[in-house]
């Protein structure tokens, strides 16, 4: 075991899988000699060389297009989009080509690639370096969406993603990159895609979250406990595929749900969760579903602490569904 940050766990996963599988190649802006803007690939170019760790031009569509070509021809590419905010030039490649390849080829081709991208606020990056755009990609059939919240999951989920035969968008919460540490096993292991994690059992209110909002929900649960609300916190870990059964089992037990997302509220993934719960478990609900989210504005520079949900906002939502 080693105590690692999330960014160190990501690097460990890449190193581990590259050692085991020579088909795994990395590419992206500054991922090679510089080790990436967040140093997630530091030292990997020196270890594996130009053929497997490649610096690219500032051309996101080209990065994804090149990775797709490699994937079709038997490689396991892991392209990095330096910030999620820069992924939009590659949107057409991802949505129209990468995600649809298995379907359009009648199963004749697969596209095993992992698109790594840091996302979200927490570093005062403003509206060009802080977006949480998971909803766009969860709406894309054929694409898996994975978001870790801790170092153990970051390594295990990333290795599982690199071994998957379908394309995966692997979103890394940069607010947690170095602020969270945890025990991570040495060598290879995987965390199953499509399996949520109940990180705090409870009986009164279900808190659903992913990425940087998971520790926020854990803090809110502690704030709510003295007021008589025993909160169950579920880390979804993968949004697509979604572990619906774990969600429904919790909702049927607690009867109350608060969904917490960093992204703007309107049409966010929390709305999809609300609809699923209403369709499948509405008779178990004792109160309306409440969403705590970012605001429907561009991400602000100076008001980041106001825009991002915090434990107090989540605790207020718990009080609303608990009627105190």
Q: Supply the residues annotated as catalytic.
A: 129
Phi, psi of 313 (to 5 degrees): -65, -40
Gap between the Cα atoms of 116 and 10, Å rounded: 10
Is 128 strand, coil or helix?
helix
Rounded to 10 degrees, what is the CA torsion of 264, 164, 59, 82?
Answer: 50
Shortest CA distance to 241 belongs to which of 295, 300, 194, 304? 194
What tokens does 123 get? 């570093």
Gap between the Cα atoms of 195 and 190, Å rounded: 12
Q: What is the 3-state secondary structure (H, E, C) of 178-228?
A: CCCEEEECCCCCCCCCCCCEEEECCCCEEEEECCCHHHHHHHHHHHHHHHC
CB atoms within 10 A of CB 279: 8
Phi, psi of 184 (to 5 degrees): -130, 125
Q: What is the DSSP string of 230-261?
A: -EEEEE--EEES--HHHHHHHHHHH--EEEEE
């Amino acid at each position: 075991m080693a105590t690692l940050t999330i960014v160190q766990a990501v690097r460990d996963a890449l190193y581990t899988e590259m050692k085991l599988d020579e088909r795994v190649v990395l590419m992206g802006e500054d991922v090679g000699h510089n080790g990436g803007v967040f140093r997630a690939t530091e030292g990997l170019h020196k270890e594996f060389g130009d053929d497997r760790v490649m610096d690219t031009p500032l051309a996101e569509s080209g990065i994804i297009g090149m990775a797709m070509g490699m994937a079709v021809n038997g490689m396991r590419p892991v392209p990095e989009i330096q910030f999620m905010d820069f992924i939009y030039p590659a949107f057409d490649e991802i949505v129209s080509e990468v995600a649809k390849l298995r379907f359009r080829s009648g199963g004749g081709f697969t596209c095993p690639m992992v698109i790594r991208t840091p996302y979200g606020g927490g570093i005062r990056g403003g509206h060009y370096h802080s977006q949480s755009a998971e909803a766009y990609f969860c709406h894309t059939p054929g694409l898996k969406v994975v978001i870790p919240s801790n170092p153990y999951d970051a390594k295990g989920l990333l290795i599982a993603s690199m071994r998957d035969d379908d394309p995966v968008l692997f979103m890394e919460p940069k607010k947690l990159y170095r602020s969270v540490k945890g025990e991570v096993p040495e060598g290879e292991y995987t965390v199953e895609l499509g399996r949520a994690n109940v990180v705090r059992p409870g009986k009164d209110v279900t808190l659903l979250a992913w990425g940087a909002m998971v520790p926020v929900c854990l803090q809110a649960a502690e704030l709510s406990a003295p007021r008589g609300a025993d909160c169950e916190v579920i880390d979804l870990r993968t949004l697509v595929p979604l572990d619906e059964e774990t969600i429904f089992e919790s909702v049927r037990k607690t009867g109350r749900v608060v969904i917490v997302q960093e992204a703007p509220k309107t049409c966010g993934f929390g709305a999809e969760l609300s609809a699923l719960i209403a369709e499948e478990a509405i008779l178990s609900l004792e109160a309306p579903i409440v969403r705590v989210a970012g605001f429907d504005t561009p991400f602000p520079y100076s008001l980041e602490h106001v825009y991002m949900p915090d434990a107090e906002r989540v605790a207020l939502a718990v009080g609303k569904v608990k009627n105190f």
